[in-house]
Amino acid sequence: MRAFLVVLDSLGIGGAPDAQAYFNEARPDTGANTLGHIAQACAEGRAETGRSGPLRLPVLDGLGLGRALELASGLAAPGLGAVPEGRWGAATETSRGKDTPSGHWELAGLPVPWDWHYFPDAQPAFPPDLLARVRQAAGTDGTLGNCHSSGTVMLDRFGAEHLRSGWPICYTSADSVFQIAAHEERFGLDRLLALCEAVAPLLHDMRVGRVIARPFLGEPGAFRRTANRHDYAITPPAPVLTNWVQAAGRRVHAVGKIGDIFSMQGIDTLRKGDDATLMRHLHDLVAEAEEGSLTFANFVEFDSLWGHRRDVSGYARALEWMDAELGRLLPKLQPGDLLVLTADHGNDPTWSGTDHTRERVPVLVAGAGSGALGQVAFADVAASVATHLKVAPQGPGRSFL
Ligand SMILES: O=P(O)(O)O[C@H]1O[C@H](CO)[C@@H](O)[C@H]1O
Ligand SMILES: [Mn+2]
Ligand SMILES: [Mn+2]
């Protein structure tokens, strides 16, 4: 009896009842549908880079992905909708943020009890006293940026100036984040991490969810971000699934961003790397994780490499890769194991802007029979995983098992 909770970061399935209150540029998220629009683009031959033809996800669809999409948004997507062998449903978020911590905290049983602070989409975006503190902690005379932007655009705009002046590049997005980009060698990776750590308490006091270090390498025209990104997130204000499981004397294994998202609360071990490495870690944990343990994994590249970059082919390739990996992983589960696949928000690569999209998410369950779960809440995922592990759930969720 073990549990594996796997978040496919940003794999929304449309249909959020409050999507009209969320925006990308000036366009409301109404109708945004990450999976549905990728499947449509593939079927219409608009996702042909490094792959070809209709979206092929036989394993995920066999667990109920197509049915969940149809339940969430009414969309019967080309190539999806097989009769499911797993338990499947669609989950709706109540937290007001469409960001990663909000989605994960609620999946872990804790809807976010406050409004995050968002910086205005104006220039300047940041208050002068905040930037004064950044300059002081960095030991520089100035900062660059001070606006909303996609991170790769920031490197194109300010990377060369950063190398000349040595000033850190500060930016934000539609999320409640304060991001600092700096060159790993010229500014220094340790110095960037120390800077982010130094200013994080100030940002957390403002209810800004995360300070994110965004190290990069290379020269003007060829900058590339590195895997040394580090998030300094607010600690969840109440116990979450990881804490409940750990308090019951069980082991909790985190894979990928889960450590950052929960500030390591309730987590015994953390394994990091790119998504291909994380998949190897997940295979290892399916082979090795202790009886009664929880493994909580996040695969971020759907979001960071493809969703934010509005790259439909890339997102489709990543989904097809995940599907093939799951085809190898699922048969390795042991009797009594539960594996739940879900997502934390949407990031429709066909949508306007570069930010997340407010959507429902799939809940696909292997190891608990077959059939429809219907519409569920994000927090029900935590309650169900806890119930499977025979750990008392806390918070508002109800087990669907
Ligand atoms: O455009 P980049 O720098 O990837 O930033 C994206 O990543 C941030 C954190 O996940 C989001 O807030 C979004 O702005
Ligand atoms: Mn996310
Ligand atoms: Mn994101």
Q: Among 9, 302, 308, 344, say which to mutate for ligand 1: greatest number of ligand atoms within 8 Å of CB.
A: 308
Atom of ligand 1 nearest to the CA of 175: 12
Atom of ligand 1 nearest to the CA of 212: 9
Spatial distance between the Cα atoms of 388 and 368, rounded to a whole number of angstroms? 9
Q: How remote is the CA of residue 147 from the centroid of ligand 2, in Å? A: 21
* pTM for this prediction: 0.93
Spatial distance between the Cα atoms of 231 and 176, rounded to a whole number of angstroms? 12
Q: How remote is the CA of residue 301 from the centroid of ligand 1, in Å? A: 12
Instruction: Give the residue from 393, 285, 292 showing the smallest Cα distance to 336.
Output: 292
Instruction: Give the residue from 306, 330, 309 showing the smallest Cα distance to 318.
Output: 306
Domains of the chain: 2-113+237-389 (3.40.720.10), 128-233 (3.30.70.1250)
| Interface confidence (ipTM) of the complex | 0.96
Rg of the chain, C-alpha, whole Å: 20
pLDDT (average), residues 16-26: 96
230 is known to lie in a ligand binding site: no
Instruction: Give the residue from 3, 7, 112 showing the smallest Cα distance to 343.
Output: 7
| Phi, psi dihedrals of residue 6, rounded to the nearest 5° | -120, 120
- Reading the block at residue 290, the tokens are 């202790």
Which segments of 97-181 does DSSP mark as H helices, in order? Answer: 100-107, 128-138, 151-165
Q: Are 167 and 183 in contact (CB under 8 A)?
A: no
Q: How remote is the CA of residue 119 from the centroid of ligand 3, in Å? A: 16
Atom of ligand 1 nearest to the CA of 172: 14
Spatial distance between the Cα atoms of 92 and 90, rounded to a whole number of angstroms? 7
Which segments of 18-127 does DSSP mark as H helices, in order? Answer: 34-43, 58-63, 65-73, 100-107
Strands 169-172 and 269-271: unpaired
Q: Among 154, 157, 173, 345, say which to mutate for ligand 1: greatest number of ligand atoms within 8 Å of CB.
A: 173
Spatial distance between the Cα atoms of 401 and 385, rounded to a whole number of angstroms? 9
- Per-residue confidence (pLDDT) for residue 174, from 0 to 100: 87
Confidence of residue 118 (pLDDT cuts 50, 70, 90): very high
162 is known to lie in a ligand binding site: no
- Per-residue confidence (pLDDT) for residue 207, from 0 to 100: 96
Atom of ligand 1 nearest to the CA of 214: 3
Query: Each residue of 152-201: pLDDT tens digit?
Result: 999 999 999 999 999 999 999 989 999 999 999 999 999 999 999 999 99
Atom of ligand 1 nearest to the CA of 151: 3
Query: Each residue of 364-390: pLDDT tens digit?
Result: 999 999 999 999 999 999 999 999 999
Instruction: Give the residue from 35, 29, 4 showing the smallest Cα distance to 17.
Output: 29
Query: Each residue of 335-348: pLDDT tens digit?
Result: 999 999 999 999 99
Confidence of residue 236 (pLDDT cuts 50, 70, 90): very high
344 is known to lie in a ligand binding site: yes
Spatial distance between the Cα atoms of 302 and 66, rounded to a whole number of angstroms? 18
356 is known to lie in a ligand binding site: yes
Residue nearest to atom 14 of ligand 1 (CA): 173
Burial of 315 (0-12, 13-18, 19+ CB in 10 A): buried
Q: How remote is the CA of residue 164 from the centroid of ligand 2, in Å? A: 33
Confidence of residue 57 (pLDDT cuts 50, 70, 90): very high
Residues with CB under 5 A from ligand 3 (ion): 303
pLDDT (average), residues 8-24: 97
Query: Each residue of 286-323: pLDDT tens digit?
Result: 999 999 999 999 999 999 999 999 999 999 999 999 99
Spatial distance between the Cα atoms of 115 and 97, rounded to a whole number of angstroms? 8
| Positive/negative CA dihedral, 317, 315, 101, 399 | negative
Q: Among 212, 306, 344, say which to mutate for ligand 1: greatest number of ligand atoms within 8 Å of CB.
A: 212
Q: How remote is the CA of residue 300 from the centroid of ligand 2, in Å? A: 7
Spatial distance between the Cα atoms of 301 and 10, rounded to a whole number of angstroms? 9
Share of the chain above pLDDT 70, in %: 100
- Per-residue confidence (pLDDT) for residue 60, from 0 to 100: 98
Query: Each residue of 103-112: pLDDT tens digit?
Result: 999 999 999 9
pLDDT (average), residues 98-121: 96
Burial of 163 (0-12, 13-18, 19+ CB in 10 A): middle
Query: Each residue of 264-292: pLDDT tens digit?
Result: 999 999 999 999 999 999 999 999 999 99
Q: How remote is the CA of residue 173 from the centroid of ligand 1, in Å? A: 7
Instruction: Give the residue from 261, 259, 281, 282 showing the smallest Cα distance to 270.
Output: 259
- Per-residue confidence (pLDDT) for residue 390, from 0 to 100: 98
Give the number of the ligand closest to the Cα of residue 150.
1
> Which residues have C-beta atoms less than 6 Å from ligand 1?
100, 150-151, 173, 175, 177, 179, 212, 304, 308
Q: Is the pLDDT of residue 246 over 90?
A: yes
- Reading the block at residue 293, the tokens are 């343990």
Confidence of residue 113 (pLDDT cuts 50, 70, 90): confident
Q: How far is CA 65 from CA 30, 69, 90, 399, in A?
A: 21, 6, 9, 20
Give the number of the ligand closest to the Cα of residue 175.
1
Q: Among 179, 196, 258, 351, say which to mutate for ligand 1: greatest number of ligand atoms within 8 Å of CB.
A: 179
Burial of 331 (0-12, 13-18, 19+ CB in 10 A): exposed
- Per-residue confidence (pLDDT) for residue 81, from 0 to 100: 92
- Reading the block at residue 283, the tokens are 């295979």
Residue nearest to atom 3 of ligand 1 (CA): 151
